[in-house]
Structures are given as C-alpha cells and as structure tokens.
A and B are shown apart, each in its own frame.
Chain A
C-alpha cells in the first residue's frame, strides 16, 4: 500500500525567501507525480505534473523534481509571496487510470 509523507507539516517564512517542500513515497512503481495547491474553503488546483520519464518540471517560480528510485519529490518555490500561502499536496499516481494517492500536505504561510 502506497504511503505518502510530506515534510514539514507546516512552514512559515518571510516574503522573498526561497523554500523547499519535501514529499516521500514508499512504492516507487508510480506512473507520474503531481503537486497541488489547496486554498481554505476551495478545491485543489494542479500546479505541476512530472511524468515518470522526467526528472523535473518548471512553471514560473515553481520547480518540482522527482527521483523515483529513492521515492522522493521536492517542490521548490522561488522568491515566495504572501499569495503563495496555502496547503501544498503531492500525489503520486498509481496505475494507468489516473488514481492519485495524496500526502497529508504542507501548510505554508508567507509573511509580508
């Protein structure tokens, strides 16, 4: 059974700081891995999708890396802004049917 752990559980940083969120998973036989953002009272928004054949993906100030063999992924946020404050969830994908196994998330607060 896939277990997904995210560290740290919560993080508070001053505006402008670069930061790294960590995700580890127990079963390396995944298809892809996605990072999501969740704002309070709202649904999830997909940020980045890393295919199993890729090692990283970039979108604006976000960069996600994937090391399947070690069961790890990181999300790097450059020059953080207060608008980045949210919960960030990683989700490895099992099988070919788009089934996502979510971690417990990292609650990020960026202080102005």
Chain B
C-alpha cells in the first residue's frame, strides 16, 4: 500500500524558514517523480513543485521560485520542501504526492504551515 506521511509544519514568522518532509513507503520511491501541492484554508489546490525520480530536474510555480527548494533522498525514501523567506500568503496545508500516470496519483494526509507574527 502506498503511504506518504508529511511532517514539519507548524507556526512560523514571516521571513523565516521551514523544512517539510514526506516519508514514503509501500513502493519503490526512486522510480517515481514526486510533487508538493498546497491548499490555503478553505481554498482550492495549487501545485507548488515537482522533482524527477532521480532528483536531476525540478520545477516550481512562479510564486515560490527562488524561495522554495524541493529535494529528495532516495536512500531514505523521503521528499523534502525547504521553504525560505516565508510570507503570509504561503499559509496552507502542504501535501506531498506521487506522480504516476497522473501527476498526483497518491497523496499524503498533509501538514499545515501557518505564517504569522
């Protein structure tokens, strides 16, 4: 069974940093591209970033380019999202997702990031 478990969310002040993790199990992690998707409170879904199966390629939405970094450790079956220079508008639940025949075929339960002073 595919399992994705996010962690690392919480309350952070504007301008500070936070690193999210996503522990994967139930599949061969290094065979799949992975992604982060966010959802602001009571809002819709927004793609954040994608990383290729081997980490060689990364893609970001414009609003996070230069501030967020997606990475992975295939030996640990773990996906990361380093978020720097956080803004109030980054407040959201962040989901990791496994990419497959559809970009977001399997999702984790999400971790809430609140950016506030």
Query: Are A and B associated in one complex?
Result: no
Query: Which residues of B are interface residues toward A (Cβ below 8 A)?
Result: none
